[in-house]
Structure 1
Amino acid sequence: MNKVPIQIMDLTTLKAVVFELKKDIVPSRFEKAQQIDSNTVQLGFRTLESLKWLEISWMADSPRIVEIHPPKKHGENSTLAKQLKHLLTNLALVEIEQTGFERVIKFKFSSRPGKEIEKELIVELMGRYSNILLLDKARKVITLGKQVKESQSRLRPIGTGDIYTSPPPLKGLVPDFSESFNSWKNNICLVPSTFKNSIKNTYQGISPTLTLQIAGKTYNEAMSIINQPVTNIQLKIWEKIYKRWREWLLDIENNNYTISFQGPTDFVVWGNLKPEVKCKNIGLILSTYYSNKILEKKLTSIWKKLEQDLKNSKNDEIRKLRIQELLIKNISEYINMQKKAQKLLSLKSPTKKQIIEAQNLFKEAKRKKRSRESILNRIKFHKKRISDIEYCELFLEELTYKEGDNNNNKLDSIIELKEEVEEYICIKKVNSKFKSNKRKEHSSNIKEIQSPSGLKIQIGSNNRQNEFISLKKRRKGDLWFHAQEIPGSHVVLKSSNGIFDDKDVQLAADLASFFSRARGSKLVPIIMVPIENLQRISGSLPGTVSHRGGKVLWGKAERAEKYFHQK
């Protein structure tokens, strides 16, 4: 899994969303508040038509204001959510204000439209300086998303009870649609630097995202321009950029916003877009974008940490195994010691010194022989631990093959695997940040495909799922498949539900080969066992089983991959 960058909600996107919100939720009555994490609140506003939900986040890498679909109940008891609900209940949202090129939005509340403003909710979307603050009539801070101490900002510390002060004014010139080409170009070129640095330092409201969008219509084209020194850019390129610049300013002036996911950045909310990519609600589309990106980032974070934990644990077990193997090699010399002692005692007239040496050799040989059994057990233990870790590595690798799954299902699977690793491999306390609420025994997240005869074939994605399909939910008549003597997923053909044929059995064997460590081999030996012949091995990882009997088949991973991705 690669690092997933998130496109920041810049000034243009913010203006597009605020423009929509003014039409959709002004006026409305505040009704609900909940906090879904330490940096995000969700607010419900009752309009004449329905309850509209807004998500506001001051998360450093993805600060945002977006409209969202009705969310699940979550975090209503957080201190901030309680304060917002208590202080804003029965008040009406009568105005949303955002001026110029500032990324500060003011939500103004009064008892009803036309009455005096009683509360202001200030949202500052400024990267790591983002925040949310609720003010009273005297513009005193009642509550806020995060306290800013003097050690964090000597320029603008702020906390509960302080009088609100606006962020420092923006530096640079205000972009102006009427500015001539020569004036605009000369201003940017005044201090020679790369285009991206010069335009950012010259004009207000210019984000890295907007710089790319103005510079070109494709990522490669835009990147080749923004990294050039302004003195090297040709006149015809300047003219194209100026034309895009004026188009951007005109769209802002006329509130002409659309959204497209084609262009030099993840999305663009201005410009001459094709009709098929236009939309009515940019905020809702952006909420889906941000939720997916944040989920991907969380997945990547857990995946990388889990991969590193498994790697460290495996290296540690290999190191310990080598130490024990070295010990057993030295201990194996006890037979030679016994022979040497016997040889000394078999002399016709051994001296006292030789007798004492022989006794010491026998004693040392006896000690080494006793230690041998203990060391062999340790070697067996470390080999089993390495095997368990390789199983977990395989399951982690398999997550990349779950292309049909949405990110929520992937997150559930990787959290399950993470908890297994922390409980059985790394022996850590489960981090509550990503801990699942309940360990439900359900099959909603089990990979399932249909066999040629219409029977279910289940595939485990981690040790608990292996145990679930192979032991807890087994039925007499089901068939169990597993790569022989190789780490892999359990595969269960639910043949107890109907009549199966050779094609079903072959597909199950192919799947067992594909979801195993031997995926790259042309043919993989697969053991097929009636599921009632399985028995859990106590004291081992969940899903660790032994079996009686069985038949060896040959699985072909390449064939299974084609079938799996067709489904």
Structure 2
Amino acid sequence: MPFDGGFLHKIAQELEPMIGARVDKIGQPNRDCIVLHLHNRGPVRRLVILAGAAPRLHFSAIPIEYPATPPMFCLLLRKHLGGGRLTAVSQQGLDRVLTLHFEATNELGDRAKFRLICELMGRQGNLILVGENGKVIDALHRVDFAASESRPLLSGLEYCYPPRQEKLDLTMTSALDAADRLLSGPDLPLSKALLAVLEGASPLICRELSFRIAPGDPPISALSPVQRATISAVLGEWGAALAPGGGTPLLLGGEKSDFTFLPQTQYEGTAVNQTPYPTCSELLEEFYRLKTGSEGVKLAGEGLRKQVSSLHERLLRKRAVRLQELEKSAGRDQLRLYGDLLSANLYRLEKGMTALTCEDYTAEPPYPTITIPLDARLTPSRNVQKYYTEYRKAANAEAVLRRLIAECEEEITYIESVQEALRRATTEGDLLEIREELRQQGYLKTLTPKGQKPLQKRRGGTLPPLRYRSSDGYTILCGRNNLQNDQLTLKTAHGSDLWFHIQKQPGSHVILLTNGTPLEDLPDQTIEEAAMLAACNSSGRESSRVPIDYTLVKNIKKPNGARPGMVIYETYYTMLTTPDHAAAQNLLEK
């Protein structure tokens, strides 16, 4: 369900005990998120306000890392609200607009009142700081007259709340009045009629209320007298859930991913499970952690992906240019031939000649004639020397070009392995480790802003490798990135453990911890599962019959100066396997 006005109403109730709290700190971890640290007779609580594509507001227990240089809107909030106190929380009916009222000290040292208005509706939420005079101080997302003639949000303009729809707020209206409005309205399917009448009710809530009144979502005109009589009682249940202490925060899982605070009878007997949570804030945090984990990481890593993709394209262009140069240098043998033939015919040469036609004695008889261009300004011997010099330059260039092309191809292989790690990244920690790897390799020299610690020195350190348990009870480890691949293969694993990797393509190093069991005594199913995991964590994860090489760890060598994740091996077996992501998920240790 979207973050509807009813759910915001429950969050506002959770905020009530924080009235009087002091604003200890204000942070802005990204362009769409503001975090207020509130202290009120207990531990400091973080109030997270997201005004992005999925706007919402809730308390968070997860530590949040802020950039070294705060954005301008964050500095503005610190200036006006820092050290102030939260004095009230108000909502516009059951609309998705919540106002946080503050009292703080202004620049003159006088007490001043401010409103931080959280507009959490639509595809793009917004935060607006309004002064005591009712005028906008600034907005997180400014709206000029070109974007909205009716509601521009710019500094100095009078603030007006978004217009509310003509719906009924059940915290202010009786269930009987709401039932009368419903029955006298258009003849729509019951859930749609409820959606048109009730303020703050999402489609999920309206479908549940419709189910409680008349399963099957019939139109209003098809309701029986008994069903019509139950409307006010069911609407009363919704009103009771909205009241303080009412409702139960529920996370819906299984066949449906959603959240609500109204128990869902419509899913009883289905594969949808309902997990209760102590508070709506905890419910929201878990729901969006599960829902937007991979999506959030995808967005967070978009800039890094573009950087790596640009680097990959640049390397491909560089290789193409060098291959063209190498092709040109392939004509050096012709230069040497010209030099040899000129030497043999030196007696025929005179200064001022522009060409010499002679027989090519290096060919099979009858000897063909060949015309050799000459520089008329040079003596005969200098013309001979010129061709030998050009030949030596071309030969040297070929050696250099072959070395540069080999280095370029090695770098392309490495960057493709980084791209593969980015495709498999599922957490911000994964992205941090990949950034750190690129920084160590010199690709991101400005990765760590001044004042921030490198990844290894930050609290919590690096992420552990993915850990699986085979059907026979063996532990299987999988590197998340190239740095972890090196750590696993070269330091964690023992020589008797088994190493798996997709053949000649980017992918994770997978280690089967054998605990000293000889290869011939290992269960076939465990070996097959390890190979399947190597396929799932590789560039071949969407293919079938993926070739996986495996060998003892003691057979793996890392050349001096090789990039992270790059190893060589000569003795190995190869197995064809098909990735099974559902099976891989079942083997993953929780």
Q: TM-score, normalised by structure 2?
A: 0.66
| 3-state DSSP of counterpart to 1:551 | coil
With over 3 angstroms needed to count, the CA separation of the structure-2 counterparts of 1:242 and 1:66, relative to structure 1, is: farther
SS in 1 for 2:288: helix
Give the drift of 1:59.
1.5
Distance in 2 (alpha carbons) for counterparts of 1:217 and 1:334: 85
Matched, 1:499 2:516: yes
Q: Is the contact between residue 27 and residue 35 of structure 2 (CA under 8 Å) also seen in structure 1?
A: yes
Deviation at 1:177, TM superposition (A): 0.4
Q: Name the structure 1 match of 2:35.
A: 41
Aligned residues: 505
Q: What residue in structure 1 maps to residue 566 of structure 2?
A: 544
User: 1:323-364, CA deviations, whole angstroms, 9 ceiling, x for partnerless residues?
Assistant: 322332232122234335534554596454427637354444
What is residue 103 of structure 1 aligned with on the other side?
Answer: 96
Q: Structure 1 residues 213, 425: CA separation in 2 closer, same or farther (over 3 Å shift)?
A: farther
**Paired residues of 2:326 and 2:398 also in contact (CA < 8 A):** yes
For each residue in 1:363-404, what CA deviation from the matched residue of structure 2 results, as whole angstroms up to 9, or x when unmatched? 4433322221122122212211221122223333444xxxxx
- Give yes or no for contact 1:458–1:493 (8 Å, CA) kept in 2: yes
Change (3 A) 1:388 1:510: farther
Paired-residue identity, %: 15
1:557/1:123 Cα in 2 relative to 1: closer, same or farther (>3 Å)? Answer: same
Pairing 1:3-152 to 2, within 5 Å after superposition:
8-22=2-16, 25=17, 29-30=21-22, 32-35=24-27, 37=29, 39-44=33-38, 46=40, 51=43, 53=45, 55-69=47-61, 79=75, 80=77, 84=81, 86-88=83-85, 96-107=89-100, 121-127=115-121, 128=124, 130-131=126-127, 133=129, 146=140
2: CA distance, partners of 1:32 / 1:365: 75
Does 2:175 match 1:177?
no
CA distance in 1: counterparts of 2:552 and 2:277, whole angstroms: 53
Q: Which residues of 2 match residues 410-449 of structure 1 at below 5 A?
A: 410-421=427-438, 424=441, 429-430=446-447, 437-440=454-457, 444-449=463-468
Residue ranges of structure 1 left out of the alignment (5+ in a row): 1-6, 112-116, 190-194, 219-224, 226-232, 400-406
Q: Residue 485 of structure 2 aligns to which amino acid in structure 1?
A: N
Alignment of 1:76-475 (within 5 A): 79=75, 80=77, 84=81, 86-88=83-85, 96-107=89-100, 121-127=115-121, 128=124, 130-131=126-127, 133=129, 146=140, 165-172=159-166, 174=168, 177-181=178-182, 183-185=184-186, 205=199, 210-211=202-203, 214=206, 236=222, 250-254=236-240, 255=242, 257-260=247-250, 261=252, 266-270=258-262, 273=265, 281-343=279-341, 345-346=343-344, 350-352=348-350, 353-354=355-356, 357=374, 359=384, 361-399=387-425, 410-421=427-438, 424=441, 429-430=446-447, 437-440=454-457, 444-449=463-468, 457-471=476-490, 473=491
Contact 2:495 2:553 in 1 (8 A): no
Contact 1:451 1:457 in 2 (8 A): yes
For residue 416 of structure 1, report the CA deviation from its aligned partner: 1.7
What is the rounded CA distance, in whole Å, between the counterparts of 1:335 and 1:237 in structure 2? 94
Does the Cα contact within 8 Å between 1:214 and 1:245 map onto a contact in 2? no
Larger radius of gyration: 2
**Match of 1:286, SS?**
helix
Instruction: Provide closer, same or farther for how the CA distance between residues 351 and 314 of structure 1 changes in structure 2, counting only shifts above 3 A.
Output: same
- 8 Å CA contact retained: 2:429, 2:462: no
Task: Give a deviation string over 1:398-419, Cα, whole Å, max 9, x none.
Answer: 44xxxxxxx5xx3211332244
Cα deviation per residue 1:36-84 (whole Å; 9 max; x = unaligned)? 525322444546xx65836241423233232444757979997545864
User: Which letter maps to 2:433?
Assistant: E
For residue 549 of structure 2, what is the aligned residue in structure 1?
525
Asked whether the equivalents of residues 341 and 362 of structure 1 are also in contact (C-alpha less than 8 Å), the reply is: yes
Closer, same or farther: CA 252–431 of 1 in aligned 2, 3 Å: farther
**Structure 1 pair 34/291, CA: closer, same or farther in 2 (3 Å)?**
farther
Q: Whole-Å Cα distance in 2 between the matches of residues 296 and 486 of structure 1?
A: 24
Residue identity matched to 1:287:
E
- What SS does the aligned partner of 1:387 have? helix
- String of CA shifts for 1:149-202, please: whole Å, max 9, x gaps: 866777667788x7974415425465760444564218x99xxxxx99x999x8
CA distance in structure 1 between the aligned counterparts of 2:393 and 2:299, rounded to whole angstroms: 50
Q: Measured at CA, do residues 523 and 120 of structure 1 come closer, stay the same or move farther in structure 2, by a change above 3 Å?
A: closer
Change (3 A) 1:526 1:556: same
What is the CA–CA distance in structure 2 between the aligned matches of 1:60 and 1:10, rounded to whole Å?
15
Alpha-carbon deviation of 1:110?
A: 9.1
Unaligned ranges ≥5, structure 2? 105-110, 170-176, 211-216, 269-273, 357-371, 375-382
The partner residue of 2:573 within 553, 557, 561 is 553
Higher helix share: 1
Alignment-mate amino acid for residue 57 of structure 1: I
Q: After superposition, what is the alpha-carbon deviation per residue over 1:429-479, rounded to whole angstroms, capped at 9, x for unaligned?
A: 43869x9852359664222345799775543221111232334x3587565
AA aligned to 1:528 is: L
What residue identity is the alignment partner of 2:482? N
- Contact 2:134–2:159 (Cα < 8 Å) also in 1: no
Any conservation in 1 of the 2:144–2:152 contact (CA below 8 Å)? yes
Tell me, yes or no, if the aligned pair for 1:537 and 1:545 is still in contact at 8 Å. no
**Contact between 1:11 and 1:102, CA under 8 Å: does it hold in 2?**
yes
Alpha-carbon distance between aligned partners in 1 of 2:29 and 2:95, rounded to the nearest angstrom: 26
